[in-house]
Amino acid sequence: MHTVTVEGRSIAYEVHDRGGSGPGVVFVHGSGGSRAVWKSQARLADEFPVVTIDLSGHGDSEDVGSDPGWETLSAYASDVIAVAEETGARRLVGNSLGGAVCLHVALHREFDAERLVLAGTGAKLAVLEDLREWLRADFERAVEFLHQPGHFLSTDASTELVEASKEAMVDCGQRVVRRDFESCHEFDVRDELSGIEVPSLAVCGSEDPLTPPSYHRYLAEEMPDCGYAEVPDAAHLAMLDRPEGFNTLLSEFLSGQ
């Protein structure tokens, strides 16, 4: 594990490098997650350096005292840019909230990204009112809801994988997880997508009910240079659900194929 200081807070990241060529890729987790969610993408380090980050308040990174919404997304964007610059990475992969962070970077920061992968995300990320209430008043119920079969993970996901995902969210804590989802709820860049000229790929699990394929087709239609791809039989966390299919799509896109 490495750290970089961002506006006075320590941000943790990990580098997997097995001799792959070209600039590295920063992988950005979603709400209540950590860099551990990308464990199956470490094998891509044979092709290019894989950099996984813990956003502020997640995993081993120190927290930031930001309000939900723009302020939080801006702080997370600063985390990503600092790690990218520290490691020389020029390509970004974001899942869910992480995708929103990548879009924020592309729209509002002077960072010359070479490619973007937007996974399990969208230009608008409205959160169910019931879930927002549970995140406020019944955190355990919120965690259980998100981990119902077919939500975060596919219906055939192993018990070990589901429990590990739950544990990571609980470890992150109610305040940070709620902040993440409230930031998603406020996020809406539908009117700004035409300004993103970075070659991009919108990739989703074919069975994702939280950010369905229609969200990703919209990104592909509205962004000037954005492709669309599905990972068959995957839910919201396609990179954990079906890592081989997810990694194949990433490898082809990031290598320019």
175-206 residue pLDDT tens: 999 999 999 999 999 999 999 999 999 999 99
As a whole number of angstroms, the distance between CA 176 and CA 183 comes to: 10
Whether pLDDT at 218 is above 60: yes
Q: How many residues does the chain have?
A: 257
Interior/surface letters 35-59, b for 16+ CB within 10 angstroms, e for the rest: bbbbeebbebbebbbbbbbbbbbbb
What local confidence, expressed as pLDDT, does residue 73 receive?
96
pLDDT score, position 197: 93
pLDDT of 255 = 79
**pLDDT over threshold 60, residue 257:** no
51: confidence class by pLDDT, cuts 50, 70, 90 = very high
Tokens 């990204």, located at residue = 113
How large is the average pLDDT for residues 154-178? 92
Q: Which pLDDT band holds residue 106 (cuts at 50, 70, 90)?
A: very high
Place domain 2-254 in its CATH homologous superfamily.
Alpha/Beta hydrolase fold, catalytic domain (3.40.50.1820)
Q: How far apart are CA 247 and CA 239, in angstroms?
A: 7
The predicted pLDDT at position 6 comes to 93
Strand (E) positions, 7-132? 9-16, 25-28, 50-53, 91-95, 115-119
Residue 22 has pLDDT above 80, yes or no: no
The residues near 221 (Cβ < 8 Å, ≥ 6 apart) are none
User: Rounded CA gap, 33 and 96, in Å?
Assistant: 10
Dist. CA 31–CA 177, nearest whole Å: 6
The model's confidence at residue 90, banded by pLDDT at 50, 70 and 90, is very high
Q: Which residue has the higher pLDDT, 18 or 137?
A: 137
Per-residue confidence band for 19, with pLDDT thresholds at 50, 70 and 90: confident
Mean model confidence pLDDT for the chain: 94
Q: Please tell me the predicted confidence (pLDDT) of residue 183.
A: 97
Q: Locate 154 and state its tokens.
A: 């596919």
User: pLDDT tier at 23 (50, 70, 90 boundaries)?
Assistant: confident
The percentage of the chain sitting over the pLDDT mark of 90, rounded to a whole number, equals 89
CA distances from 11 to 14, 136, 183, 198, 253 (A): 10, 26, 20, 26, 28
DSSP-assigned states of every residue in 236-249: S-HHHHSHHHHHHH
Rounded to whole angstroms, the Cα distance separating 131 from 39 reads 27
